Structure 1
Amino acid sequence: MTFKPSRLLVVLFAAAALPVMAQNLAVVNGKAIPSSRADMMIKQLSAQGAQGGQPDTPELRAMVKDELINREVLIQEADKLGLGNNPDVKAQADIARQSILIRALVADFIKKNPIKDADIQAEYDKFKAQAGDKEYHAQHILVENEADAKAIIAKLKAGGKFEDLAKQSKDPGSAANGGDLGWATPASFVKPFSDALVALKPGQLTDTPVKTQFGYHVIKLDEVRPAKIPTLAEVKPQITEALQQKKLQAYQQDLRAKAVVK
């Protein structure tokens, strides 16, 4: 089969146009919406799967296409009205651009500076050492001055009920529960408190008030049990996140230190 010159040109131009057309999601008032824009939006939605995002399906793609067409229609109208020249709009667009670039910088830094398993293990070992191998179930009463704390200790030794006296505690989190602090490791408390706590035996009460930056504490130890330390696998995501944040903070501080600020 042979083509006439005019027919051949039509075929060639149509073939050349195919790749370009394939890259467009739609054309709105003569302006093309690239398919890459839809791919990016779908990628973002799919990446949020653990937080309730949606899988990449034909239905999702149809919804995204419709959304992008709606946006293009609105953007074209905004441009027609000259809203892009509004100073407030320009400032907001600049802030949005900064946020996008900063997110990209953070993602790039994390990718190039991955957290090593050895660092995670070291942080986990440090956590275990600080937590200790025991958990303590205690009660406390917090007051503002030493005299009040001593008076409470005297009442308790005279047979007063800890739960009743705890109602005057300045710690709102435990006062309503009779001063109950639940189960916790010593590392959960400030040092003067934890030191006094671990020195007690179950059923014992502090003989003297324990002073911390919060005030004066009267502490009673109820029970002690072996600590239930989470496994490395259980806390690995949190440790990784914490180490990443530490690295990012150091990176930001280094950039700030090198910056010329006038």
Structure 2
Amino acid sequence: MSPPRLARSVRNSSRDSDRTRHIACFSVVGAPSRRTGGCVSRVSTTIGVADPEENDAHRTPSHRHQRVVRARRRVGSFFVTELKKLPRRLSLAALAIAATTSLAACSTVEKSNDAFRVNGVSFPLDDFEQLTEDLTSAGQLTPDTNGLLSGDEARSVLNSLIRGRAAAQFLTTIDDSVTDEDRQKALASVPDGAIDGWSDLLKSTSLELNALQYAFERVTVPSKDAVKSWYEKQPALTGVLCLSHILVESLDTANKVIAELEDGGDFTKIAKETSTEPAAKESGGKLDEGENACFNLPTLQEQFDADFMSAAIPGRPTMVIGPVRSQFGYHVIVHRPWDEVGDAVMKRLTDNSASLLAIGYLASADVWVNSQFGEWNTAKSAVQ
């Protein structure tokens, strides 16, 4: 029987991929010093970022996926598990917010009263600036001798705030939210005197973010029917992706592959015959991790080509996605159907459902960032 006809989603991006993965954490993990160019300069601060172990620019998706198999899963920092492993004081200090005044000298800055928006819900720029002043007064930010703060550090904290906003929104989708009890637990965990002298805005923002970890402790693995409904709407919503792809050298060949698939061609057969991916002749284009047919989304975001991920994240199981241009050639991508990978998705969620579902929600969210800080990168779920 021929497979069902698949809808086509065309993306043809030629921009260079940004390989650097910056994972903003609510807890400090030792921020490296970096110079960012433009109108901002470096600063010593308390914001933590985690970088990948190595640069994968020379690897194809399959090569990187083979390395990931050896390394096993690297879920990435989001909330619950990472926060509990780090000193509590550092968890609070990670709300350090870079001064927007240090970015005001940039020539192309979008005029807006918002620092960012997640699904239309804004974080006011005035609040951002007030938090900056409060944190500087509290000794959590240390500008350089010119009063300038690093753009990298500003983006790191924006990433934390955006993730916090998305996490709170995710909780509402499963009929939950941060409760007063969660806030009380967060407050009780703060060492005596640690936030004395902080403004009400700084205290409330800090405690609200830290309270999320207690709310997330209540999140359980959803029913298989619920996960199936999310997967069939947009697989990225589950925080797990199960992909197959065909890699070819030319745009013409990619378009021919798409035409064959839309005419009912068998993806596995076409991949084995056409793909230049080294493993395709055996895998039929399937990208899996050892015994599991699927990857955790953060692993793919960290290891795979940015253009590849920008195209894959918004895709649906009924779509042929492509042609997607990367430095390796042209990709044709499909999300494998639920009937084929449902058990593998559920196995992933059994291990880390709260974090993965929140990450999936963020990856699928409509995020806007004030241009003075950078832009939202869907492939990495980060401000860059």
TM-score range relative to shorter protein? 0.3 to 0.5
Higher helix share: 1
Structure of greater relative contact order (alpha carbons < 8 Å, 6+ residues apart): 2
What's the TM-score, normalizing by structure 2?
Answer: 0.26
Computing the radius of gyration from Cα coordinates, the structure with the larger value is: 1
